[in-house]
Structure 1
Amino acid sequence: MTHLAHLRTVLWTLVVVAALSATGLYVYANTRPQPTGGLGSGDYQLVTASGTPFTRESLNGSPSLVFFGFTHCPDVCPTTLAEITAWYEALGDEAKDLKAYFVTVDPERDTAEIVGDYVAWTGHVTGVTGSLSEVEKAARAWAVYYEKVPIEGGDYTMDHTASVFLLDAKGDFQGTIAYREDAKVALEKLRKLLG
């Protein structure tokens, strides 16, 4: 009987510890300071390939896709642009209000004209660039990693986050589509976003 009583005491102790932990997590989650803005919020002043100002407010009014990359990208960026184009084709009229933006992380080389030419073949994606400092502010606001990486011959490439950000018509972050994510899964996410 003593063994059973000891086991009962241990089990009740575990129940009390679990209850206290749950209470602590609840209090923490409901009392911690909430961020003042969502992902992408910030004071950055970029410009589209056509010369239109591009700020966080530019993402209000229509569901949007936002992707950070660069025009000298050997694989991730052209693949992602091809996938975005395929999503538009698969969605057809469902995507009539969907906007897509390609924001460069290499503004030293990617002028408005260059980034505009780079995305023109898609028929759907708007190229976005800006000064080094404004691109840095935008990347920080979106929690996008990017880094200049020297390569042989004195040139460089860029490492960068490869996800596509999804925003609803209010400009609120709704998730991401990962690089090379299954097309069916990506389309499900987009239909949910557009619905």
Structure 2
Amino acid sequence: MRALLSACILAVSTLVAGCGTIIRSDVTSFHEWPDTLPDKSYVFERTKEQNDSLEYRNYENLVRNELNRLGFSEAPSGTRPALKAALSYSINGRDVREVYPVVVHPYPYWYGPAWRGHYWPHHPFYSPFYDPFWYGPPIVEQRVSQYQLFNRQLRVSLARMADNKKLFETTVVSEGTNPSLATVMPYMVRSAFAEFPGQNGVPRRIELKME
């Protein structure tokens, strides 16, 4: 019996370990992307605060990797790129209080059918102790759950350097209980460039499994 219990615990633990967290992001992109773009060089346009932020530079590297994957190239220092990229981000938390019903049996577990049947061996078809309402109907109690929910946002844009005309801008919104923006940001950046440039003005949901 102990060996069987240990095997069950191991199986459940393996199942839980294999179930990764899913990051769900709502993505909306707007673009006027040209049919051809011979020069795909770019440079990041930063604010003073961003230029002094190590956190920003970490997220910028994530965007850089995605742009490079799509065939863009960061312009060398001293040259004039065709495009400029910009990004901004934010995270806000709020308290959530949920009230939900829970069915509670009015009798202890040891009053269950297995215990009762032991004392009624001559009544295989019916015993009053088997009546689920013998000790009264189930009771519905209200339980309260309180937690924090975080709204995480990322905005990325690409514009022409010559006339500042925006060619692409996308907004990624993700909600969850994880308060670490740094943990979730890699998946939000990947979602921002999924199916680039994407359908114009059509919201879509991107789901990525955390590694």
What TM-score bracket applies, with the shorter chain setting the length? under 0.3
TM-score, normalised to structure 1's length?
A: 0.24
Which structure has the highest strand share of the two? 2
Which structure has the highest helix share of the two? 1
TM-score, normalised to structure 2's length?
A: 0.23
User: Which protein, 1 or 2, shows the higher relative CO under an 8 Å CA cutoff with sep ≥ 6?
Assistant: 2
